[in-house]
Homo-oligomer: A and B are copies of this chain.
């Protein structure tokens, strides 16, 4: 419905629930929350806000759907396929379909980001042992994932 929902302290918003990152607790991620900012039936996409606490990380995963990300808060790094990038506030991150990716917050700051995705989308895939071993053949990736 038309209107304004106010930004509140600690990167919360009026009328928006703080959600678990995923339905189940898992060793595949650490200290991540999720807020669904826009989810209109009239829109083909959703806009979500994820926040990774300092030292935390999202799941290493891939899927058919594309991620369009704008960093809103803090800094950290992102793994995209076999490359690691430093990221900071307002940088844009594109993750194409079927591309392994993981976000990690810095040790001294949270990493908060907006993520636009299609409303209709597939479920994430986790790497097999073989796929994980292949990723780790790149020393930079092994160091990133080993943290």
Identify the A interface with B (CB < 8 A): 1-7, 11, 13, 37-38, 40, 42-45, 47, 65-66, 68, 70-72, 78, 80-81, 85, 87-97, 99, 114, 116-119
Cross-interface CB contact of A114 among B65, B70, B99, B118, cutoff 8 Å: B70
Q: How far is the CA of A89 from the CA of B87 in the complex (A)?
A: 21
With contact pairs A45-B44, A114-B114, A116-B47 given, residues A87 and B2 touching in the complex (Cβ less than 8 Å): no
Shortest CB-to-CB span from A5 to chain B, Å, is 4
- Cβ contacts under 8 Å, A81 to chain B: 2
- Cβ contacts under 8 Å, A94 to chain B: 1-5, 38, 40
- Cβ contacts under 8 Å, A119 to chain B: 44
The chain B residue sitting closest to A118, CB to CB, is B44
Shortest CB-to-CB span from A46 to chain B, Å, is 9
- The reply to whether B91 and A7 form a contact with Cβ atoms under 8 Å apart is yes
- The reply to whether B45 and A80 form a contact with Cβ atoms under 8 Å apart is no
Other A-B pairs beyond A7-B90, A13-B90, A40-B66, 20, CB < 8 Å: A2-B80, A3-B93, A4-B80, A4-B92, A4-B94, A5-B91, A5-B92, A7-B89, A37-B68, A38-B94, A38-B116, A42-B96, A42-B118, A43-B66, A43-B68, A43-B116, A44-B44, A44-B45, A45-B116, A45-B118
